[in-house]
Structure 1
Amino acid sequence: MPPEGRQMIEQRDFVAVVSGLPRSGTSMMMRMLVAGGLPPVVDHERTANDDNPHGYFEFEPVKALKEDDSWVAKSKGQVVKVIYKLVYDLPIDVPYRIVFLQRDLGEVVASQEKMLEREGRDPHAVDRDLMIKLFQGEVLDFQTWARAQRNIEILFVDYSAIVTEPEAAAQKIAEFFDCGLDVRAMAEAVDPTLYRNRA
């Protein structure tokens, strides 16, 4: 990205946030936005593995937002991954543009089960249908809440649509953030081989 593009991004008066359910494609979206030119807020404590071979793009202090959110306002012009349940804890005096990943809930749960299995944990500790119903309610509640927040602009994007048509998705996302992102680089960051749990 040319220097003027980077400067444009740095001057943006909002924190870019990638959110969604676990295993909904949030790491892929982070990879796209970083490729497009948004600097990430990450600490690399959680390293790449078979579940996310390109990395998780996580920042540990996100988990402790209730105790310390002092880093958030300093992250304007950057992108951070915040799981949907923790978005509620972001400070309300900071503007955000959130891209929220939506994915078939059956695929989400199947992907979670595979990850738990690889970690040696019981993937069926919670009934699948119950988990899907729980996620449905929580996502609907989140959507209603987020749309009502004056400091939040939000874009809902479908995981499968990104994998199927990465250029069209990248264009839409770049227009939403409106900060000179490299659409081609974003599209090229999509790895369709990682769409391993399909409905």
Structure 2
Amino acid sequence: MMMQMLHRGGLAALTDAVRSADEDNPRGYFELERVKQTKDDPGWLEAAPGKVVKLISRLLLDLPEPSEGRRYQIIFMRRDLDEVLRSQKKMLVRRGEEPADGEEADTNAGEAQAQSDADMKELFVSHLEEVESWLRSRSDVEALFVSYNRTVSAPRKSAERINGFLGGVLDVDAMVGEIDPDLYRNRKPAEG
């Protein structure tokens, strides 16, 4: 969603279209396959100035210190981790890589899955703490933290914050128009 917002707002996106739109992401992925090799081959960064590039949080740690006084501006999208886990699980099920919840062979499988989710969430929390510490430690990094949930519920406010962070050059109305609440499909169930 963030990449679509930035692109619609007027920024060029550095992508390769290797991964096309699908049921999990009907508007496409806006990804660049080469970012996965950043640690060993950061050459793609030469084409990045002035463009937006999508990196998962783990890959941020592989970014080299920029040369010639360049700085990284990072928009870090935060999302409820239970929703992230739910989304990832659904994607794996659709790809046939993991059994769906109602298909376990025995009654202990549900307990094992709950434990697995709890373990995975704990790993995510630890990882995010590491990444946020890394972001704070780098003098060449300017970061803006944006809530996925708040962006969907208050798109104009989020778009204005992002626009301010990037120097006020974006079309905020176009960014807001890119947000489709119907694509927020892995919402955490209401409690109570």
Provide the residue aligned with 1:66 in structure 2.
Answer: 39
Provide the residue aligned with 1:45 in structure 2.
Answer: 18
2:128 partner amino acid: V
Task: Indicate the structure (1 or 2) with the bigger Cα radius of gyration.
Answer: 2
Q: Distance in 2 between matches of 1:50 and 1:131?
A: 24
Q: Distance in 2 between matches of 1:172 and 1:163?
A: 14
My pick for the range that moved more, 174-183 or 52-61, is 174-183
Provide the residue aligned with 2:8 in structure 1.
Answer: 35
Q: Please, which runs of 5 or more residues in structure 2 have no aligned partner?
A: 100-112
2:62 corresponds to which of 71, 82, 89: 89
Q: Distance in 2 between matches of 1:180 and 1:127?
A: 44
Per the alignment, in what secondary structure is the counterpart of residue 72 of structure 1? helix
Per the alignment, in what secondary structure is the counterpart of residue 30 of structure 2? coil
Q: Distance in 1 between matches of 2:173 and 2:89?
A: 33
| Cα distance change on mapping 1:44 and 1:162 into 2, 3 Å | same
Counterpart check, 1:141 vs 2:117: no
Q: Please, which runs of 5 or more residues in structure 1 have no aligned partner?
A: 1-27
Q: Distance in 2 between matches of 1:106 and 1:95?
A: 33
Counterpart check, 1:176 vs 2:165: yes
Asked if the contact 1:32/1:186 (under 8 Å) is kept, the reply is yes
1:9-58 CA distance string (max 9 Å, x none):
xxxxxxxxxxxxxxxxxxx0000000001100000000000000000000
Provide the residue aligned with 1:18 in structure 2.
Answer: none
> For this pair of structures, how many residues does the alignment match?
172
Following TM superposition, by how much is the alpha carbon of 1:194 offset from its aligned partner in structure 2, in angstroms?
Answer: 0.7
Asked if the contact 1:72/1:91 (under 8 Å) is kept, the reply is no
| Cα distance change on mapping 1:126 and 1:64 into 2, 3 Å | farther
Moved over 4 A (4+): 123-126
Q: Distance in 2 between matches of 1:144 and 1:91?
A: 16
Aligned alpha-carbon RMSD (Å) = 1.4
Following TM superposition, by how much is the alpha carbon of 1:125 offset from its aligned partner in structure 2, in angstroms?
Answer: 11
Alignment of 1:104-123 (within 5 A): 104-122=80-98
Per the alignment, in what secondary structure is the counterpart of residue 73 of structure 1? helix
Per the alignment, in what secondary structure is the counterpart of residue 53 of structure 2? strand
Q: Distance in 2 between matches of 1:115 and 1:85?
A: 19
Provide the residue aligned with 1:185 in structure 2.
Answer: 174
Per the alignment, in what secondary structure is the counterpart of residue 76 of structure 2? strand
Q: Distance in 2 between matches of 1:111 and 1:143?
A: 23
Q: Distance in 2 between matches of 1:72 and 1:125?
A: 40
Amino-acid identity (%) = 45
1:195 corresponds to which of 155, 179, 184: 184
Following TM superposition, by how much is the alpha carbon of 1:74 offset from its aligned partner in structure 2, in angstroms?
Answer: 2.8
1:119 partner amino acid: R
Q: Distance in 2 between matches of 1:84 and 1:56?
A: 15
1:123-166 CA distance string (max 9 Å, x none):
65981000001100110111111011011000111011000011
- TM-score normalised according to structure 2 size: 0.86
